[in-house]
Structure 1
Amino acid sequence: MAKVVWGMIMSVDGFVNDRQGSLSKLYASFEPNDEINAAMGNTGAVVMGRNSFESTEDTDAYADNYEFQVPLFVLTHQPPARHPKENDKLTITFVTEGIESAIHQAKASAGEKDLVVLGASTGQQALKAGLVDELQIAIAPILLGTGLRFFEHLDDLEIELEKIKTIETGRQVEIWYKVI
């Protein structure tokens, strides 16, 4: 059965975007290697929030060149008026029934492959609901000083983690944790 992996890239000081809401400074250091490519290749579905989904100017571009060519499940209060372009591998489902429904649908679609959760708010919701099996945190070599914090709204939630592995590239480190 699919594992649920919340994956994010953050600055050394814990921000997942800058003061303008941009991810570009964080992704400037992204260098996939064989291990990262294998993890990405074992992704069977993606759950993300509407803000993450619309972070690209043209949502039709997902069908043409998104790194995960798998079914996407977008958590939202209101689906867009126009459904974005899809292809034979990448379908887009807008889920309005909450994080549990999005995870359930995506797991069914992923089969034996992993389900990746993207986005700070969506990941926090999944973590609070006890739906995350692993955290994958890529640390970009930059201090942003402000922006959206990775673990901003977890309130009094205390979760124990166990380090599974680390992956180093020339510019960044990824740390994988199992949620206990």
Structure 2
Amino acid sequence: MGTVIMHSVVSVDGFIADANGEVGPLHEWYFSGDVPIVVGGDEEYDHSGAGDGVKVSRASADYVRSTWESIGTIVMGRNLFDQVNGWEGKPPAGDHVVVVSGRPKPEGWHPEASYHFVDGVVAAIDKARELAGERIVAVNAGEAGAQILAAGLVDEVAMDVVPVVFGSGRRYFGGIDEQHLLEDPHVVIQGDRVLHLRFKVRR
């Protein structure tokens, strides 16, 4: 089975968005570089949904490209799904999306998209692993991600740390209230206006 990695872009004080879910300057580094991130050698990623394409610094490019290409399934919470309307059925990476939700897919919503609505984090990760095969399961940080970490289902924690202080908002680790030990980072890459870190979860 593929590795389960909890991931998000995050402020230095641990927030992935403000209280309204707005990311502010957190994603600016995705579009301020000069190296386009492409899919299969020709089509540019459109992470913003605005048709801009992702262009990162040369220091970040290899890491971002290899990470995104290795993703098979994204796991997201219902709040994020509703806020971004599921990226209109076109996830930024991977072939499948599993939404942790007690409510079904909205009626008539992008029937062609491989989106699966699953009640409960254990069942969601089981489904995501089934869909991903040997590829990575990427879990969005926040409340759903924190529940998956608390359930012992996360193998690694990945953070793209941006030099900004939010002060309040939506936390990377949600409302988690217990200690979890991580190993020393095995990825430390300094990009332009972002620091890429990855830690294995200590078992």
Is this a same-fold pair by TM over 0.5? yes
Secondary structure at 1:126 match in 2: helix
Q: Does 1:68 align with 2:90?
A: no
Instruction: Return the offset for 1:151.
Output: 2.4
Instruction: Name the residue aligned to 1:146.
Output: 168
Instruction: Give the Cα separation in 1 of the matches to 2:111 and 2:98.
Output: 12
TM-score between the two structures when normalised by the length of structure 2? 0.79
Instruction: Give the Cα separation in 1 of the matches to 2:24 and 2:89.
Output: 17
Q: Does 1:25 align with 2:25?
A: yes
Deviations 1:96-141 (A, max 9, x none): 2x10100011101101111000130111011100000000011112
Instruction: Give the Cα separation in 2 of the matches to 1:67 and 1:74.
Output: 15
Instruction: Give the Cα separation in 2 of the matches to 1:83 and 1:99.
Output: 25
Deviations 1:17-53 (A, max 9, x none): 1133212421122335122111110001111111111
Unaligned runs of 5+ in 1: none
Matches within 5 A, 1:15-164: 15-30=15-30, 31=56, 33-56=61-84, 58-59=85-86, 61-63=88-90, 66-87=91-112, 90-96=113-119, 98-164=120-186
Instruction: Return the offset for 1:142.
Output: 1.2
Deviations 1:49-85 (A, max 9, x none): 11111221x446233xx31141100000111441421
Instruction: Return the offset for 1:86.
Output: 5.0
Secondary structure at 2:29 match in 1: coil
Residue identity matched to 1:18: D
TM-score between the two structures when normalised by the length of structure 1? 0.88
Equivalent residue pairs, number:
174
Instruction: Name the residue aligned to 2:197.
Output: 175
Percent of aligned pairs with the same amino acid = 28
Higher deviation after alignment, 37-46 or 152-161: 152-161
Instruction: Give the Cα separation in 2 of the matches to 1:168 and 1:62.
Output: 32
Instruction: Give the Cα separation in 2 of the matches to 1:60 and 1:152.
Output: 22
Query: Would you say the 8 A contact 1:4–1:115 is kept in 2?
Result: yes
Secondary structure at 1:115 match in 2: strand
Instruction: Give the Cα separation in 1 of the matches to 2:78 and 2:184.
Output: 30
Instruction: Give the Cα separation in 1 of the matches to 2:108 and 2:144.
Output: 21
Instruction: Give the Cα separation in 2 of the matches to 1:20 and 1:144.
Output: 12
Instruction: Give the Cα separation in 1 of the matches to 2:20 and 2:197.
Output: 26
Unaligned runs of 5+ in 2: 31-55
RMSD: 1.8
